[in-house]
Amino acid sequence: MEGRVDRGRARRAAGNGRVRTPAGTARRRLARARAGARGVRRRRRCLARAHPSARGGARTRAARDPGPRDPPGRAPTGRARAADRRGRPGARVAGRPGGGHVCAARHRRAHPHRRTSVGAHTRHGCEPDGERVRELRVRVASEIRKVVVGQDDVVDLTLAAFAVNGHVLLEGVPGVAKTLLANALSRALGLSFRRVQFTPDMLPSDLTGTMTLRWSPDSRVQELAFRPGPVFTNVLLADEINRTPPKTQAALLEAMQEAQVSVDGDAHALPDPFAVIATQNPIEYEGTYPLPEAQLDRFLMKIDVGYPDEQAELALLRLDHRGVAPATLDDVSAVADPDELHDAREQVDKTSVTDEVMTYIAAIVRRTRELPSVALGASPRAAVHLLAASKASARLSGRDFVTPDDVAWMARPVLRHRLLIRPEAELERYRPDDAVQAALASVPVPR
């Protein structure tokens, strides 16, 4: 028995000696390396078949076309920062929600749940349609800054309203450049502009036009002919709109809703595009007439125009002036035209919205009707306006899809003027913005 054990130990010792030679160790290591390389190549082929857009590797794509970079902007916060960490678009550019691009159709078919950045979008050879709208915003804002500084958010919101054929109500104390901003924006977009100072003795015909007697072409008889009013323009500035009686204010209802006016039973179409920019002073109530709810609901946005910060006010003093008037208003050149604005509207209409985001919009609007401090909540028209404004926000950020950040950013200007606060809540200084914030806080954000 002991002999067999000794012989077994000897064979094992001899076998171990043969296996542990340097040549044998090298052969085993080489075999393992080859097997590992075959496994890596096999996995890469599987990934390439499942994800065609991933072929070539990140280093090859970057060397072939590094792609453009988003301009630096405000640091992302909250959900936007978390989205950046997950690799999905969520960074804010210049204070706006989002900054990424969607990918091409082929990438969407392969990855229906993914979004890519602007650089990846360009690297895959996709045409950056959203960039055209964002470039329009950059060009227009650059021209407006020649005369108006410190109101970048107001410019962005107003341009977003123009991109969806909406009307804007600017509210601010005197001297914050409400009228100047409307004039400069019209010049930069290459649109015709008319300003109407609303007064208590103003008549509806002073806006829409009237029928007058005119000589016939042969100058033999006089005929009734329509003389268009100042509403026949691309951009109508209704300055101090709350200083005219409700009868005259109502003359704008048809124009704002249907882009036409009716005089003596005949409908007259307004120019396309047509937008109303109305202004009002929030601190003066004597001699004013509050806007009716029907007219307020036709404004896409109510934008609060506040004071600029210290740096912007210093930059304002450094601008050229001719006395007390801005000397550079004539230097604001047209960097766009109505056709380009039409193209921007078409791009905004093509912006994709998921069912989750639509449900989010509807829930916010419905929640405003359930708040105990709100006597009158937002109407269904408000939901349509909020959806359109969110699409414009996405396009101005260079994306063709709407995110919850777009909805949250547009909720206040779109909803604040449609909410009627109860008197007891107003005594506690409860404002419409507080109601909108409460609605946003009570609705779960889609993920």
pLDDT in tens, 315-340: 888 887 767 666 667 888 899 999 99
Q: What is the pLDDT of residues 355-397, one digit of tens each?
A: 999 999 999 999 999 999 999 999 999 999 999 999 999 999 9
What pLDDT band is residue 118 in, cutting at 50, 70 and 90?
A: very low
Between 53 and 176, whose confidence is greater? 176
Q: pTM of the full predicted structure?
A: 0.70
Residue 51: pLDDT over 70: no
Choice among 3-12, 139-148, 194-203, 344-353 with the minimum mean pLDDT? 3-12
> Two tokens at 62?
């970057």
Q: For residue 146, report the phi and psi dihedrals to the nearest 5 degrees.
A: -70, -25
Q: What is the pLDDT of residues 69-109, one digit of tens each?
A: 333 333 444 444 444 433 333 334 344 565 443 333 333 44
pLDDT of residue 132: 83
Q: What is the pLDDT of residues 218-257, one digit of tens each?
A: 767 777 888 899 999 999 999 999 999 888 888 888 899 8
Residue 6: pLDDT over 90: no
pLDDT of residue 249: 87
Residue 143: pLDDT over 60: yes
Burial class (CB in 10 A: 0-12, 13-18, 19+), 90: buried
Rg (CA), the chain: 32
pLDDT of residue 335: 92
Sorted by where each starts, the structural domains of the chain and their CATH numbers stand as 64-127 (no CATH), 128-340 (3.40.50.300), 351-447 (1.10.8.80)
Mean pLDDT of the chain: 77
